[in-house]
Amino acid sequence: MELVNTLFASLAGTDPFTGVDITIANCKSAYWDEGIVQQLINQALDEGEKFVGADGLEGLLRYDVTLNIGLTSSKVWPGFSLDTTTISRLCACGADFGFDPYISDVPDVQCDLNTTNDLTVQFTAMLNPDERVIIAKRPLKKCESWIEDIYIFQVFKDAWKFHNDNSLRGFRDKQAELKLYARYYTVENCAEESCRDCNSCIRPSLSLSRSAIIRLNVAGNDSNLLIVFYVQIMPDDFVMQLHRF
């Protein structure tokens, strides 16, 4: 465990009766480790269930909720995993998902993908005991808001063709792995007049829409996919991985 400045999972939405933005849950931790993010997410979802009562997580659908992970710290390498149960719970409440860390003095870790693309989505599987094969891969030169959803879907569609059955079930015992590499640039001296805080120029982030969460949930059920968000650092870059071990 490592001490952090701030770490929280915030579940927020819009009151369906008044239209006012509300915070339903805000769960915090003073420490970082690989399991803490999933723990905080489930704590926030538990609070959400209490908030809507007998309707359960589905009762949050009418609140148009977003679950955001915020992290501010130094010398932390923020990788974390989400199991199929957690993904299923996020799916049930219809949440958008966001991960917004700011890490100073980031550990210098070499990335296994050397690319200048803003986004690369890659699906692989162990077709032989000692051979991991790329089943589907899509690079994107410039990443726009919510484009991750489209590219995840396209990679899944490409992977469906492998067994000609329009599903990922054929990969269930093949250690299927989905990696999402998102490249973010660091800026030491920003020239943008609108920039008032350099932290906003150098932090990595990841946003997944509710439709992306739904697709990840289906893929997890089909192929026994464990979702892992993993930050790796290249010189002047941030690379986010989404994969199964």
Asked, for residue 109, whether it belongs to a domain, the answer is no
Q: pLDDT at position 52, please?
A: 96
pLDDT digits (tens, 9 = 90+) for 114-144: 677 777 888 888 988 889 899 999 887 776 6
Same domain, 93 and 139: no
Question: 78 and 179 share a domain?
Answer: no
Same domain as 51, residue 131: no
Average model confidence (pLDDT) for the chain?
Answer: 80
Do 39 and 76 belong to one domain?
yes
Which residue, among 45, 133, 139, has the nearest Cα to 97 in the 3D structure?
45
Residue 92: give the domain boundaries.
Answer: 2-104
Which residue, among 109, 102, 107, has the nearest Cα to 4 in the 3D structure? 102
Residue 228: the pLDDT is 65
pLDDT of residue 146: 59
The pair of structure tokens assigned to 116 is: 């200048």
Residues 142 and 231 reside in one and the same domain: yes
Q: What is the pLDDT of residues 199-235, one digit of tens each?
A: 544 455 677 888 888 888 888 777 776 666 655 544 4
Q: What is the pTM of this model?
A: 0.80
- Residue numbers in the chain where pLDDT is lower than 50: 200-202, 233-237, 244-245
* Number of folded domains that form the chain: 2
In angstroms, rounded to a whole number, what is the distance separating the alpha carbons of residues 182 and 206? 8
**What local confidence, expressed as pLDDT, does residue 9 receive?**
97
